[in-house]
A and B are shown apart, each in its own frame.
Chain A
Amino acid sequence: MAAGKGASSTPTELLVSLGRNQSTKTLLKVIILALIAAAAVASRLFSVIRFESIIHEFDPWFNFRATKYLVANGFYQFWDWFDDRTWHPLGRVTGGTLYPGLMVTSGVIYHLLRFLTVPVDIRNICVLLAPAFSGLTAYAAYLLTNEMTTSSSAGLLAAAFMGITPGYISRSVAGSYDNEAIAIFLLVFTFFLWIKALKLGSVLWGALCALFYGYMVASWGGYAFITCLVPLHAFVLICMGRFSMRLYVAYTTWYALGTLASMQIPFVGFLPVRTSEHMPALGIFGFLQLVAFLEYVRSAIPSRQFQTFLYVGLGGIFGVGLLGLVGLTAGGYIAPWSGRFYSLWDTGYAKIHIPIIASVSEHQPTAWPAFFFDLNMLIWLFPAGVYMCFQRLEDEHVFIIVYALFGSYFAGVMVRLMLTLTPVVCVAAAIAASQLLDAYLQYKSPEIVESKEEESADGTPKKASKQGSLRSTSQPVVGIYNVLSKAFIAGAMTLFLLIFVQHCTWVTSNAYSSPSVVLASRMPDGSQHIIDDYREAYQWLRQNTKEDAKIMSWWDYGYQIGGMADRPTLVDNNTWNNTHIATVGKAMSSREEVAYPIMRQHEVDYVLVVFGGLLGYSGDDINKFLWMVRIAEGIWPDEVKERDFFTPRGEYKVDAEASETMKNSLMYKMSYHNYASLFPPGQAQDRVRGARLPDQSPILNSLEEAYTSENWIIRIYKVKDLDNVGRDHAAAASFERGHKKKKAIKKRGPRVLRVE
C-alpha cells in the first residue's frame, strides 16, 4: 500500500486494477491463509526446537500410549482394550472410557503416510498433530467469520488471530498431544457448519454439521458445549420471534443425526437420552416440532381462533412436557446434573463436595490478568465486535452474541475453559478490527463521499455565508476523512497488531512451550541447563524393575509412569475411581504402620514421590500433600484429619515445628529421608518452602530408598518384604541399627515409632 502511494500513477492504477480482479483476490486470500497456517504451525514449534520432539505433560502420555496400542493392534483390539496395567487390582476398560477421536485421527494419518511410503514415526505424528490442526482451526475461523460479515478482511484477521492467540496455543503446542488439539478445530468448524445450515436451511449442511458434531463427540468431553449452545441459539431465536422454516430444517437435521452419531461412542453411549446436560437439546427439538406445527396452523386459520388454539394447545403440551421431565428425573430415568456441572454454577461447590476436581489447577477460577495474558488486545476489541453484531443482528449474529455471553461466563469460572472462549473472541475482535481498518484504510473513496457531501451542503443557503471566509476554514483540519486522522488510526491499529504479534510470540515462547517433563534452567553464565530428572527416573524404573512391578504414586504421575516407564500403576490421571485414589492418599498421609498393610494389600513394589526441595521445584508432592489428605479424609474422616497436619497455630510447616502427624506421615518421611545429609550440620534447607529442616532426617522402617534422581526431584522407594523372623519392620530396623550404633538409636527407636 505504501509503495503504491509513493509511486507514480500508472503502477498504482495497475496495482488497483489487479486488486479489483476477482481471481487475483482469491489467489491473494489463498496465499494469505497459507501463510497464516504456516505461522500458526511455526509459532508452536518452540518446544521442539528448544528441547526435542517429545510428548508433554501428563494426559498426552496416555493418549500417546493409547495411540501406540491402536497402531500396533488395530482398531477393533483398541475398541475392546482392557488395560490391566493401570488401576492395579481393578484395571480399566480403556476402549470404552476414552474419547477415541484423537488416537484414531493420528492412526489414520500414520497409515496414510505409510501407504504413501513416507516412513514416519508415530511419535512424531503425535507431537506435530496439534500444530497441524491449528492451521486448520485458523481456516475454520476464517470461514466462520466470513458468515458474519461481508468484509473479507475480517475473515483473514480472524484466521490470523486464531492462529497465534496464546489462549489457544496454550493447549496446542507441539507435543501437547491432548484431545483439545483437534477438538478446537472441530468446535469452530461445527459452528461454521451450523451457521451455514441455518442460513440456507439446508439438510445437506445440517447433516455435515451433525457429522462433525459426531467427530467432536468422539474427540473431547467438551462437546457438551456444542450440545448446549446450539439449542440455546435456537431458543433465543424463537424467543426473538425469529422462528423460520430454515431453523426447523437445520436444527432437526442436526439433532436427529448428531444424536445418533454421538451415541456410537461407547463412552457416551446412552448419555444423550439419559442425562440432564443433553436435555436442553432434546427439549428444543420437541419445542421446534410444536412451533413448526403452530406456524402451519396459523397460516390455516384466522388469528382469533389461533389465539384460543395457542392457549389451550401450547399450555397443555408445555405442562405435560415439564411434568414428564420432572417425573423422569425424580424416577431416576434421567440423571440429574453431574457434579462437574454444578461446579460451573457454584465455584465453591467442587472444593466442598468433590476435592478431586478442585485439586486440579486448571479447574480453578480464572484470574483477571489471565484474560489479558491469553488474549492481549483481543480482549478489548471483543466487546466492540459483539456490539457490531448487535448492530446487524441477523440470525448468525445472535449466535455470536449467545456464544460470547456463555463463553465469557465459563471462561471466568474455569481456567481451562478459556479455550472455548478464544474462538469467539477472535471472531468478534476480527469483526471490530476489520471495521476500523476498512473505514480508515480506504485511500480514495471517502474523498468522493466528502466532495459529494460538500456539494450537497453547498446547495443550501450556507454557501453564501461561506463564500466570504477563507478556503482553509471550510475544510476542517481534523476530521474523519482527513488523511492525517486516517493515517493516525491506521498507524495505531498497525502498532497494536504488531504488539499483539510480539506479545503472542513472547507468551508462547516463555509460558507455554515447556514440556514440563523436561525442565530448563539457566546456568550462571547464561547457557541453558536441562534438568531431566523425570525421564532419568522413569528410565531407571524401566531398566531395573520387574516387568510387572507395581508403582504407587500420586495420580498426577500415573500416565507418565505408564507411558515412559511402562510399569503398572495404582492410580492415574483418569481419576474414575475416587475411593482408589483416596486409598493411595491414605497410604501417603498415614503412619508407616498403617500404610504398610495398605501397600501389601495392593501388591505395591515401589513408591514414587516427587520432591522439589533441593531444586526449588514448586510442583512437588509436599505442596500437593494437602489434597491427598483432603481426598483421603473424604472417605475415612475418622482416620485422616486435615487439621492434624497443621501446627497448633494453623500453619502448614515442614520444619522442626511441623505437627507430629505430619512428621510421621509416609509422604513426609519419603520426601525428606536422608535429605539433611546433603548439607553441613544445621543448614539443611527446603528451597521450595523456605524452611530450615532438623538435622535428623526422618527414619523409614518399612521402605528402603531405591533410587533418587540427579536433582532429587524423583525419589523411588522399594517396599520391604515381610521380615524373615516375623518381627515388625520397626523392630527389625532398630535391631539392624542397633548393630552399628548401640545406645543412641535404640533409645530413640521406640520413642519415635511407639508413641501413640
Chain B
Amino acid sequence: MAPKKPATAAGPASSSATSTSTSSTRQLDKIALNIVQHYQKTTPQRTKLLDTFMAFLVIVGGIQFAYCVLAGNYPFNAFLSGFSATVGQFVLTASLRIQTTEANKSEFPSVSPERSFV
C-alpha cells in the first residue's frame, strides 16, 4: 500500500514545487492533507480504535503536563506517576500498533495482527 500512495500524491507535489517560497505554508497544508488522506485510506478500522486510545492518552498527558506548568508541581509524586503512566501506556500501545501493522510484518514475523484483540 505504501507504493500506491506516493503515485497519487505525486501530481500536486510536482506542481507546487514550481511555486515560490511564499507558498510554503500552502505546501505544509498540502503535506498535512496528504498524511491525513494516507492515514484514512490505509488504516484498518480496528487499528483506528487503538489510535483513538492513543490520542486519548496524549490528551490526558497533555492536560497533566499543562497543569504542572501552570499550577506548579506540588504533589510531584502524583504528577510523576500520572504522567509516566500515560506516557508508558502510550508507548506500549504504540509498540503493539507497530507490531500488528501489516507493513511491519517482515520485522515481526511471529506477531499476529489479532494480538491486540484476543
Contact = CB atoms under 8 A, between A and B. Distances in A.
B13 A302 contact: yes
Interface string A249-262: 10011011101100
A257 B35 CA distance: 31
B91 interface: yes
A299 B99 contact: no
A397 B116 CA distance: 32
B98 interface: yes
A690 to B, nearest CB: 59
Contacts of A200: 110
Given A259-B84, A292-B94, A304 B13 contact: yes
A305 B94 contact: no
Contact of B27 (A245, A248, A257, A305): A305
A260 B88 contact: yes
A442 interface: no
Interface in A272-314: 273, 289, 292, 297, 299-305, 308-309, 312
A301 B9 contact: yes
Contact of A260 (B2, B5, B34, B84): B84
A300 B41 CA distance: 10
B29 to A, nearest CB: 11
A244 B84 CA distance: 24
Contacts of B107: 201, 244-246
A302 B9 contact: yes
Contacts of B17: 304
Contact of A256 (B24, B35, B88): B88
A270 interface: yes
A301 B108 contact: no
A203 interface: yes
B38 A300 contact: yes
A248 B95 contact: yes
B8 to A, nearest CB: 10
A309 B27 CA distance: 9
Interface string B99-114: 1000110011010000
A449 to B, nearest CB: 34
B68 to A, nearest CB: 11
Interface string B1-43: 0100110011001100100000010011011001100110000
B50 interface: no
Contacts of A246: 107-108
A30 B28 CA distance: 61
B59 interface: no
B62 to A, nearest CB: 14
- Sort chain A's interface into a size bin: 20 to 34
B90 to A, nearest CB: 9
Contacts of B94: 248, 252, 292
B59 to A, nearest CB: 16
Contacts of A260: 84, 88
Contacts of B88: 256-257, 260
A200 B2 CA distance: 24
A301 B35 contact: yes
Contacts of B87: 256
B95 A308 contact: no
Contacts of A201: 99, 107-108
B34 A273 contact: no
B80 interface: yes
B76 interface: yes
A245 B31 contact: no
25 contacts: A200-B110, A201-B99, A246-B107, A246-B108, A248-B95, A252-B95, A253-B91, A256-B92, A260-B84, A263-B80, A270-B80, A299-B2, A299-B103, A300-B35, A301-B5, A301-B9, A301-B13, A301-B31, A303-B6, A304-B13, A304-B17, A305-B9, A305-B31, A308-B27, A308-B31
Q: Which 3 A-B pairs have the closest CB atoms?
A: A256-B88, A300-B38, A252-B91
Interface of B: 2, 5-6, 9-10, 13-14, 17, 24, 27-28, 30-31, 34-35, 38-39, 76, 80, 84, 87-88, 91-92, 94-96, 98-99, 103-104, 107-108, 110
Given A297-B35, A301-B31, 5 more contacts: A245-B104, A249-B98, A263-B80, A270-B80, A303-B6
